[in-house]
Amino acid sequence: MSNWSITLPELAAKKTRGEKIVALTAYDATFAQVLDGAGIDVILVGDSLGMVIQGNDTTLATTLEEMAYHTRCVARGVKRALLLADLPFMSYPSPKLAAENAARLMREGARMVKLEGGRVRAEVVRFLTEQSIPVCGHLGLLPQSIHQLGGYRVQGKEDRSAQNLLEEALLLQEAGARLLVLECVPATLGEEIATALDIPVIGIGAGAGCDGQVLVLHDLLGLGTGKRPRFVKNFMAGAEDIPSAVRDYALAVQNGCFPDDEHSF
């Protein structure tokens, strides 16, 4: 038994038992400690730091050096949760480069890395898995492909694109991915993919049928001046303090109260 309470086999067991997995982003040691103490299962050091910390319009400017720095900071605040870190834009164009950059994040404290894309990433996922680097896939809305997608839009609304996402999810699982983040897809598709896969599927704007949920911490706290995405709920509203808001979110996910229809597509 490791010193960590949450391991990849435990997350898989949660799916088997029908228990929801609770995930949140964090970018520093203080918030990581708050999330860890509130019982969050997976803490994601997201390349979203480029937006919520640095003020950029997209995640594309986030560098590997910045991801390594914030991963190191977050790792100092985590005792229980599984620490997941994003591989940033253009840090995994080839299996070899992906492995080198993933190793950098794992040396800073990550226990798993996340990358975006389906078929085109299968070879990278397979290679990382062979090097004992746990991989979390990411399908649906891909923030690193935002200019190619033409904006932050719901994916998989048509039958053909929905079928393609299901096929890509199965491909990532076959290549060795141990988790999958599914972003901004119809709730019915989120549930279909979660049911079809053996690995846990963590949704963000993908409906309550996923095996767990993740949000950007700043969105959960009601911070930011831009338009709030439909899938975001401000858990600070009515909460006594930040730890209480985080615990309320965790309880809402575990009980299946979040997301509801209002926060789904």
Contact between 105 and 96 (Cβ < 8 Å): no
Count of beta carbons in the 10 Å neighbourhood of residue 90: 12
Task: For residue 8, give the nearest of 108, 87, 112, 104 by alpha carbon.
Answer: 112
**Tokens for 112?**
């798993």
CA–CA distance, 22 with 237 (Å, rounded to integer): 20
The DSSP annotation for 120-184 comes to GGHHHHHHHHHTT--EEEEEES-GGGHHHHTSS-----SHHHHHHHHHHHHHHHHHT-SEEEEES
CA–CA distance, 237 with 244 (Å, rounded to integer): 11
Task: For residue 60, give the nearest of 94, 91, 99, 85 by alpha carbon.
Answer: 91
Contact between 110 and 75 (Cβ < 8 Å): yes
Contact between 249 and 24 (Cβ < 8 Å): yes
**Four-point Cα dihedral 82, 119, 205, 258, nearest 10:** -50
**Number of residues in the chain:** 265
**Tokens for 222?**
């009601």
The residues that are catalytic are 183
Query: H/E element holding 43?
Result: strand 42-45
